[in-house]
Amino acid sequence: MSRDLHAKPLNAADFAAFGEVLEAVGEPDKMINQGLCGRHHDRARLDFADGRAGISVFNAQARTLPFTLEMMERHPEGSQAFVPMHQNPYLVVVADDDGGKPGQPRAFLAQPGQGVNLHRNVWHGVLCPLQDPGLFAVIDRIGEGANLEEHWFDRPWQVNA
Protein backbone atom coordinates (compact mmCIF):
# COMPACT_ATOMS: atom_id res chain seq x y z
CA MET A 1 0.00 0.00 0.00
CA SER A 2 1.78 3.19 -1.18
CA ARG A 3 1.36 6.76 -0.04
CA ASP A 4 0.87 9.73 -2.37
CA LEU A 5 3.22 12.70 -2.66
CA HIS A 6 2.47 15.78 -4.76
CA ALA A 7 5.41 17.54 -6.42
CA LYS A 8 5.37 21.33 -6.51
CA PRO A 9 7.48 23.66 -8.64
CA LEU A 10 10.97 23.99 -7.15
CA ASN A 11 11.48 27.32 -5.41
CA ALA A 12 14.29 28.64 -3.24
CA ALA A 13 12.10 29.52 -0.25
CA ASP A 14 10.53 26.09 0.16
CA PHE A 15 13.87 24.38 -0.50
CA ALA A 16 15.93 26.54 1.86
CA ALA A 17 15.82 24.09 4.79
CA PHE A 18 17.41 21.41 2.59
CA GLY A 19 19.80 23.36 0.36
CA GLU A 20 19.95 25.98 -2.34
CA VAL A 21 18.36 26.32 -5.77
CA LEU A 22 21.03 27.28 -8.30
CA GLU A 23 19.51 29.73 -10.77
CA ALA A 24 20.17 33.08 -12.41
CA VAL A 25 17.38 35.08 -10.81
CA GLY A 26 17.39 38.71 -9.71
CA GLU A 27 20.12 41.18 -10.42
CA PRO A 28 23.61 39.67 -10.78
CA ASP A 29 26.01 40.40 -7.92
CA LYS A 30 28.57 41.58 -10.44
CA MET A 31 28.77 42.20 -14.18
CA ILE A 32 31.95 40.66 -15.66
CA ASN A 33 33.49 39.99 -19.06
CA GLN A 34 33.15 43.57 -20.30
CA GLY A 35 29.58 43.70 -19.07
CA LEU A 36 28.51 40.69 -21.12
CA CYS A 37 28.06 38.28 -18.24
CA GLY A 38 26.20 38.53 -14.95
CA ARG A 39 27.85 36.70 -12.03
CA HIS A 40 25.38 35.38 -9.45
CA HIS A 41 28.10 34.98 -6.88
CA ASP A 42 28.68 32.23 -4.30
CA ARG A 43 25.12 30.85 -4.27
CA ALA A 44 25.59 27.58 -2.40
CA ARG A 45 26.88 26.30 0.95
CA LEU A 46 29.37 23.57 0.04
CA ASP A 47 30.78 21.22 2.66
CA PHE A 48 33.25 18.41 2.06
CA ALA A 49 34.40 17.64 5.62
CA ASP A 50 37.95 16.25 5.45
CA GLY A 51 37.69 15.46 1.76
CA ARG A 52 37.82 17.65 -1.30
CA ALA A 53 35.35 18.87 -3.91
CA GLY A 54 35.00 16.82 -7.06
CA ILE A 55 32.98 17.25 -10.23
CA SER A 56 31.50 14.11 -11.78
CA VAL A 57 29.09 13.68 -14.69
CA PHE A 58 25.99 11.56 -14.02
CA ASN A 59 24.16 10.04 -16.98
CA ALA A 60 20.92 8.89 -15.33
CA GLN A 61 18.03 7.05 -16.96
CA ALA A 62 14.85 9.09 -17.20
CA ARG A 63 11.95 8.05 -14.96
CA THR A 64 8.26 8.69 -15.48
CA LEU A 65 5.57 10.06 -13.18
CA PRO A 66 4.04 8.71 -11.05
CA PHE A 67 7.43 7.84 -9.62
CA THR A 68 7.68 5.18 -6.94
CA LEU A 69 9.96 6.45 -4.20
CA GLU A 70 11.24 3.39 -2.38
CA MET A 71 14.38 4.82 -0.85
CA MET A 72 16.02 8.00 0.32
CA GLU A 73 19.69 8.53 1.09
CA ARG A 74 22.01 11.05 2.65
CA HIS A 75 25.71 11.89 2.65
CA PRO A 76 26.96 12.44 6.21
CA GLU A 77 30.32 13.79 5.03
CA GLY A 78 29.39 16.23 2.36
CA SER A 79 27.02 18.35 0.35
CA GLN A 80 25.96 17.29 -3.14
CA ALA A 81 25.04 19.62 -6.01
CA PHE A 82 23.27 18.62 -9.22
CA VAL A 83 23.66 20.96 -12.21
CA PRO A 84 21.67 19.81 -15.25
CA MET A 85 23.47 19.72 -18.59
CA HIS A 86 20.10 20.08 -20.35
CA GLN A 87 16.87 22.04 -20.07
CA ASN A 88 14.59 19.20 -19.06
CA PRO A 89 12.48 18.85 -15.93
CA TYR A 90 13.62 16.57 -13.13
CA LEU A 91 12.30 15.49 -9.76
CA VAL A 92 13.91 16.44 -6.45
CA VAL A 93 12.69 14.80 -3.26
CA VAL A 94 14.04 15.80 0.16
CA ALA A 95 13.09 15.24 3.79
CA ASP A 96 13.99 16.35 7.28
CA ASP A 97 15.58 13.82 9.57
CA ASP A 98 13.22 12.07 11.99
CA GLY A 99 15.26 10.11 14.51
CA GLY A 100 17.73 8.78 11.98
CA LYS A 101 15.28 8.21 9.14
CA PRO A 102 13.54 10.50 6.64
CA GLY A 103 10.58 12.48 7.91
CA GLN A 104 7.77 13.66 5.64
CA PRO A 105 9.22 13.74 2.10
CA ARG A 106 8.83 16.93 0.07
CA ALA A 107 8.78 16.61 -3.74
CA PHE A 108 9.73 19.37 -6.15
CA LEU A 109 9.75 19.64 -9.94
CA ALA A 110 12.89 21.45 -11.08
CA GLN A 111 12.30 23.87 -13.92
CA PRO A 112 14.67 24.57 -16.84
CA GLY A 113 17.70 26.51 -15.63
CA GLN A 114 17.50 25.27 -12.05
CA GLY A 115 20.17 23.20 -10.30
CA VAL A 116 20.19 22.20 -6.65
CA ASN A 117 22.77 21.98 -3.91
CA LEU A 118 21.82 19.55 -1.12
CA HIS A 119 23.31 20.38 2.24
CA ARG A 120 25.46 17.82 4.04
CA ASN A 121 23.46 14.98 5.57
CA VAL A 122 20.12 15.97 4.03
CA TRP A 123 17.83 13.08 3.10
CA HIS A 124 17.10 13.01 -0.63
CA GLY A 125 15.87 10.75 -3.39
CA VAL A 126 18.50 9.71 -5.92
CA LEU A 127 18.91 11.73 -9.09
CA CYS A 128 15.63 11.54 -10.99
CA PRO A 129 15.51 13.03 -14.51
CA LEU A 130 12.11 12.97 -16.21
CA GLN A 131 13.40 13.18 -19.78
CA ASP A 132 16.50 11.88 -21.58
CA PRO A 133 19.29 12.80 -21.57
CA GLY A 134 19.59 12.73 -17.82
CA LEU A 135 23.00 14.43 -17.87
CA PHE A 136 24.10 16.32 -14.75
CA ALA A 137 27.35 17.72 -13.46
CA VAL A 138 27.55 16.68 -9.81
CA ILE A 139 29.72 18.51 -7.29
CA ASP A 140 30.25 16.42 -4.19
CA ARG A 141 32.83 15.10 -1.76
CA ILE A 142 35.79 13.04 -2.88
CA GLY A 143 37.46 11.44 0.09
CA GLU A 144 37.98 8.46 2.33
CA GLY A 145 35.38 6.70 4.38
CA ALA A 146 31.71 5.96 3.97
CA ASN A 147 29.55 8.83 2.74
CA LEU A 148 26.26 7.15 1.89
CA GLU A 149 23.42 6.20 4.19
CA GLU A 150 20.24 4.70 2.71
CA HIS A 151 16.75 4.30 4.12
CA TRP A 152 14.30 1.93 2.39
CA PHE A 153 10.64 2.61 3.09
CA ASP A 154 8.36 -0.18 4.31
CA ARG A 155 5.65 1.52 2.28
CA PRO A 156 6.81 3.36 -0.88
CA TRP A 157 5.57 6.81 -1.89
CA GLN A 158 3.90 7.50 -5.25
CA VAL A 159 5.14 10.86 -6.45
CA ASN A 160 3.07 12.77 -8.97
CA ALA A 161 2.93 16.28 -10.39
| Eight-class DSSP state of 12 | H
Pick the binder of ligand UGC from 127, 130, 139, 159 (CB under 6 A): 127
Residues 87, 70: Cα–Cα separation, whole Å = 26
Q: Please, what is the minimum distance in Å from the beta carbon of residue 51 to ligand UGC?
A: 14
Given the complex with ligand UGC, which of 40 and 109 has the nearer CB atom? Answer: 109
Cβ atoms of residues 107 and 15 within 8 Å: no
Given the complex with ligand UGC, which of 5 and 91 has the nearer CB atom? Answer: 91
Torsion of CA 85, 96, 140, 143, to 10 degrees: -160
Task: Return the ∠ at Cα 139 (arms to 150 and 44), rounded to 5°.
Answer: 100
Given the complex with ligand UGC, which of 30 and 56 has the nearer CB atom? Answer: 56
Size of the site for ligand UGC (CB under 6 A): 6
- Judged by CB under 6 A, does residue 126 bind ligand UGC? yes
Residue 121 falls in which region: left (phi positive, over 0), alpha (psi -120 to 50) or beta: left
Q: How much of the chain is in helix, strand and coil states, percent to nearest 5?
A: 0, 55, 45
- Judged by CB under 6 A, does residue 7 bind ligand UGC? no
Question: Of 70-89, which residues contact Ni ion (CB under 5 A)?
Answer: 80
- Judged by CB under 6 A, does residue 107 bind ligand UGC? no
Residues 67, 136: Cα–Cα separation, whole Å = 19
Q: Please, what is the minimum distance in Å from the beta carbon of residue 32 to ligand UGC?
A: 31
Residues 81, 116: Cα–Cα separation, whole Å = 6
Given the complex with Ni ion, which of 80 and 114 has the nearer CB atom? Answer: 80
Residue 127, contacted partner among ligand UGC, Ni ion, none, CB below 5-8 A by kind:
ligand UGC
Residue numbers at the binding site for ligand UGC (CB under 6 A): 73, 80, 124, 126-127, 148
Residue numbers at the binding site for Ni ion (CB under 5 A): 80
